[in-house]
Chain A
Amino acid sequence: MSACTSIFKREVKSYFATPIAYVFLVIFLFFSSFLTFSKGFFESREASMRLFFSNMPLLFLFLVPAISMRLWAEERRSNSIEFLFTLPVTTGQAVLAKFFAAWSVLVIALALTFPMVLTVSYLGKADPGPIATGYLGSVLMAGAYLAIGSFFSALSRNQVIAFILSVVACGAFLYADSPQAMEFVATHISSRLANMLELISFQTRFESIQLGRLQLRDLAFFLLLSSGWLWATIVLLEERKGA
């Protein structure tokens, strides 16, 4: 078996060997359904998961950095990074293996929200299209958050710093096209730049995907953004893994 898959397997197991995965799953499942029902799931009288998916950007903003913060900071703190990078792997393989391991924990979390799908199908005639694209969008957005988190985790050996920086950076992408942010940039920098903010906003892209509009540019946005941040993680680790 290649080094890459064995690192992937070890990482996934380590999430479940420590309480991290269980705490994460319980909190995620609780809040994802609690917010859905408290926002008026029944009152909307609509057999769709629109309300459920609308919570994802904010939930992931705090929960994904909680998963990603240990990715590299932990390796650095315990020096196991020195052990890891003297196994026959390249930096790129290790970064990808750990990224995909964390991503699969998030995919498991999303898969465990299946009772929600059963609920809406039981209550009415749900349209499977938006449900499928909603999940796809959530998985892609989680990956993008995770790639950002992996970069900030590689930046510091302190997990708290990694967490805070990741939340701030993810928040910047999430709320890039909020009226406040756009107004701020338009008055202080330039209105041209303010209009460009709309292009990088997670919220806008995600909403469009979860409403069932599957456009290549939205999918490509999340995939390219994730690859970019992962590439930055690799460069950063190559430069200063000993630091």
Chain B
Amino acid sequence: MIQVQELRKAFGPIVAVDGVSFEVALGDVLGFLGPNGAGKSTTMKMLSCFLPPDGGAATVDGHDIVRDPVAVRRAIGYLPENAPAYEEMVPEAFLRFVCEARGIGGARRRDAIDKVTQTCALDSVMHQPIGTLSKGYRRRLGLAQALVHDPKVLILDEPTDGLDPNQKHEVRNLIKELASEKCIIISTHILEEVEAVCNRIIIIARGRVLTDTTPSAVREKEGGTLDEVFRKLTTRGKAAKGGAA
């Protein structure tokens, strides 16, 4: 479903993503882990065709992200970091706009909006300006916006950030439910979340993939909890780099 080869992106002198490669198949839930500034969001932005890569290639659902970005965007549901939306709009109008922009009209639009309103539990705030909504509701609206056109590929940048424990639980259940018929990438800082929903893990730091495996394999191979493994992997490189410098 998603093939990524040697993707690179630099912002001036800072190399954010430095030759990242991986593949994700239908039915996979890939957990993208890494410390802040590791290049998780940048990789996701390139896959969703917001940022053009400096090098490397990637295809999403068979479409090349450089040559055919519009087709890729059509196939993807993307929740950006911080779930941005137009603050003066109400969620109902916002979702209607997303449907129209994605070519869903008439009765199909009504059904689609009803469905995501329910799955994301937005009914109570549908007519309240987005600017006045709490962080949790905004995040859920972002999720609704990413799901409304029933895309095959979901790219969710920190989907549970800012949610309360109950909401986190619901979103994780939602992701698990969707998993069988979609290809999902989520990024997160919360390691327990990865264990709860993902069947694959990629840990990246300073723009490079450190490991690409499954939650159980990471535990067996490296020993200890995912928490310890994460710390060991992401600080090991730093020590080596410090020594080299």
CB distance from B48 to the nearest CB of A (A): 5
Interface centre among B82, B85, B86 (most CB of A within 10 A): B86
Closest to A243 in B: B11
> What residues of chain B lie closer than 8 Å to A22, measured between beta carbons?
none
**Contact across chains for B88 and A88 when beta carbons are under 8 A apart:** no
Is the interface on chain A under 10, 10 to 19, 20 to 34, or 35 or more residues? 20 to 34
Q: Would you call A114 an interface residue if the criterion is a C-beta within 8 Å of the partner chain's C-beta atoms?
A: no
Q: Mark A199-243, 1 if CB is under 8 A from B, else 0.
A: 000000000000000000000000000000000000000100111
Q: Would you call B78 an interface residue if the criterion is a C-beta within 8 Å of the partner chain's C-beta atoms?
A: yes
Q: Would you call B25 an interface residue if the criterion is a C-beta within 8 Å of the partner chain's C-beta atoms?
A: no
Closest to A11 in B: B86
CB distance from B8 to the nearest CB of A (A): 14
| Tally of contact residues, B, Cβ under 8 A | 32
Q: Would you call A29 an interface residue if the criterion is a C-beta within 8 Å of the partner chain's C-beta atoms?
A: no
Q: Would you call A123 an interface residue if the criterion is a C-beta within 8 Å of the partner chain's C-beta atoms?
A: no
**Contact across chains for B73 and A86 when beta carbons are under 8 A apart:** yes
Q: Inter-chain contact count A-B, CB under 8 Å?
A: 77
Of A13, A81, A89, A241, which contacts B101 at CB under 8 A? A89
Of A7, A79, A89, A90, which contacts B80 at CB under 8 A? A79
**Contact across chains for A86 and B49 when beta carbons are under 8 A apart:** yes
Instruction: Known pairs A86-B50, A86-B78, A242-B50; list 17 more (Cβ under 8 Å).
Output: A3-B101, A6-B100, A10-B97, A14-B88, A78-B84, A79-B82, A82-B80, A83-B80, A85-B50, A86-B76, A86-B80, A87-B102, A88-B71, A88-B102, A88-B103, A90-B69, A242-B45
Closest 5 CB pairs of A and B: A6-B100, A79-B84, A3-B101, A88-B74, A80-B84
User: Interface on A for B, CB 8 Å cutoff?
Assistant: 1-3, 5-7, 9-10, 13-14, 17-18, 78-83, 85-90, 238, 241-243
Can you list 6 contacts pairing A with B, beta carbon distance less than 8 Å?
A: A1-B105, A9-B100, A14-B88, A80-B85, A83-B80, A86-B48
